[in-house]
Amino acid sequence: MLDQVLSAYGFSPDCEIIPHGSGLINRTWRIRSPKGDFILQQINSEVFTDPAMIADNIEQVASYLSTHFPDAIFPRPVLSLKGQPLVRAAGHDATTPYNDAWFRLYPFIGDSVTIDVADTPSQAYEAARKFGEFTRLLSGFPAHNLHQTLPGFHDLSRRYRDFRKALDEGSALRIRRSGQLISYLESQNIIVSEYEEIRANKEFQSRVTHHDTKISNVLFDPQGKGICVIDLDTMMPGYFISDVGDMLRTYLSPVSEEEKDLTLITVRESYFQAIVEGYMQEMRDELTATEKEAFVYAGAFMMYMQALRFLTDYLNDDIYYGRRYEDHNYVRALNQSMLLRRYNELSPRLKAITRQVAAPSSSTPR
């Protein structure tokens, strides 16, 4: 099937096709050809049921940036020989498993690298700066024009309702097994109330938001400086707490959400400060004072939501995330709940760091 796709872009059959990256949703390959190097992606149409929405969002933003910020680096899909940003291939095989096979092609940005884990505060700073820059450059773009490619993706109220439904309809055995964890998550539902207050507060602005700010979605140069953000499938209108919260959730702990040994879960203050500094370097003048006060809340918002999602899936017999072993999603939920506990313990200290960094005089870049 890939030969069929590459032919639609005018590539010769002797191209080198190399699996690329570590993403879990889309399939990605690097294409080496006489025409240059490119990145080919197959969109997971089981997750993103209307890839044309993604293509339109990207084209809208690319056109805006090319007009208003022509020097900004923004990967724009290469058009097929028919002038289309997407290529649809018939059928599927083991290499391209989704029944509805949609592909897109990007130029490969030379001397760029991705990293899977934030190993230093400077990496966290650079990633936060690039995600902040992305939103700042698009502050004049009408965010409401973007399609909701995953409706309700970061709607915490919806996620909490799903959790409550799973308590009523899920596995009775797993509900009993999860009693203490369920009690803890229910005790933290003030986080949901705060989210609903944010949605009703005009001080919180709807902006162009990435919604998937793990560090692997930033390209770095060989010197460790951020080049640009990538993987824009979840680019939608949203609140800044989504982007900041996902960075805090995924950068602060030295271990991932897969870690079973909960004693290894800690919150690294130096990484928190780096994220605040990097994001505020770009967004200090864009965020309202009320939004800045919610910076620390953003981490709790995302940690809590992910814990709810993992436990909900566990109670529903692993129908969304799947599992690699028995109780996999239960362990993930425990992991994220422990991260939330550790984070809440440090909340006063983290708020003090945020206020210091967010002050107008604290604008010196690293």
Label residue 94 by pLDDT band (50, 70, 90).
very low
Residue 115 domain flag: no
Q: Could you give the CA distance from residue 346 to residue 146 in angstroms, rounded to a whole number?
A: 36
Residue type, 194: E
Label residue 44 by pLDDT band (50, 70, 90).
confident
Strand-strand pairing, 101-107 and 87-89: antiparallel
CATH number reported for the structural domain that contains residue 74 in this entry: 3.30.200.20
Decide: pTM greater than 0.85: yes
pLDDT tens digits, 45-88: 777 889 999 999 999 999 999 999 999 999 899 999 999 999 98
Residue 38 and residue 62 share a domain: yes
Residue 136 and residue 204 share a domain: yes
- By three-state DSSP, how is residue 43 classified? strand
| Torsion angles phi and psi, residue 276, rounded to 5 | -60, -45
Average pLDDT over residues 171-175: 97
Burial class (CB in 10 A: 0-12, 13-18, 19+), 178: buried
Residue 161 and residue 84 share a domain: no
Other Cβ atoms closer than 10 A to 19: 10
Residue 127 domain flag: yes
Residue type, 196: E
Residue 112 domain flag: no
Label residue 23 by pLDDT band (50, 70, 90).
low
- By three-state DSSP, how is residue 239 classified? coil
Residue 366 domain flag: no
Residue 229 domain flag: yes
Sorted by sequence, the CB contacts under 8 Å of residue 268 that are 6+ apart come out as 121, 252, 253, 254
Residue 116 domain flag: no
Residue 240 and residue 138 share a domain: yes
- Could you tell me the CA-to-CA distances from 39 to 33, 79, 232, 259 in Å, in that order? 11, 13, 14, 31
Task: Please report the pLDDT score of residue 91 as a whole number.
Answer: 58
Residue 174 and residue 224 share a domain: yes
Residue 288 and residue 189 share a domain: yes
Residue 25 domain flag: yes
Residue 315 and residue 166 share a domain: yes
Residue 95, pLDDT > 90, answer: no
Residue 134, pLDDT > 80, answer: yes
Q: Which of 62-66, 118-122, 322-326 has the lowest mean pLDDT?
A: 322-326
Domain that holds residue 11: 2-107
User: Mean of the per-residue pLDDT values for the chain?
Assistant: 92
In the block, tokens 């870690």 appear at 259
Residue 274 and residue 175 share a domain: yes
Q: Could you give the CA distance from residue 333 to residue 178 in angstroms, rounded to a whole number?
A: 10
Residue 325 and residue 257 share a domain: yes
Residue 192, pLDDT > 70, answer: yes
Task: Please report the pLDDT score of residue 101 as a whole number.
Answer: 84
Residue 223 and residue 318 share a domain: yes
Label residue 99 by pLDDT band (50, 70, 90).
low
Residue 52 and residue 201 share a domain: no
Q: Could you give the CA distance from residue 237 to residue 86 in angstroms, rounded to a whole number?
A: 23
Average pLDDT over residues 208-214: 97
Element (H, E) at 358: helix 347-358
Residue 87 and residue 193 share a domain: no
Number of domains the chain contains: 2
Q: Which of 56, 72, 107 is the last residue of a domain?
A: 107
| Rg over CA atoms, the chain | 21
Average pLDDT over residues 255-282: 97
CATH number reported for the structural domain that contains residue 240 in this entry: 3.90.1200.10
- DSSP-assigned letters across all residues of 45-90: TTT-S-HHHHHHHHHHHHHHHHHH-TTS----PPP-TTS-S-EEES
Residue 363 domain flag: no
- By three-state DSSP, how is residue 32 classified? strand
Token reading at 223:
């010197």
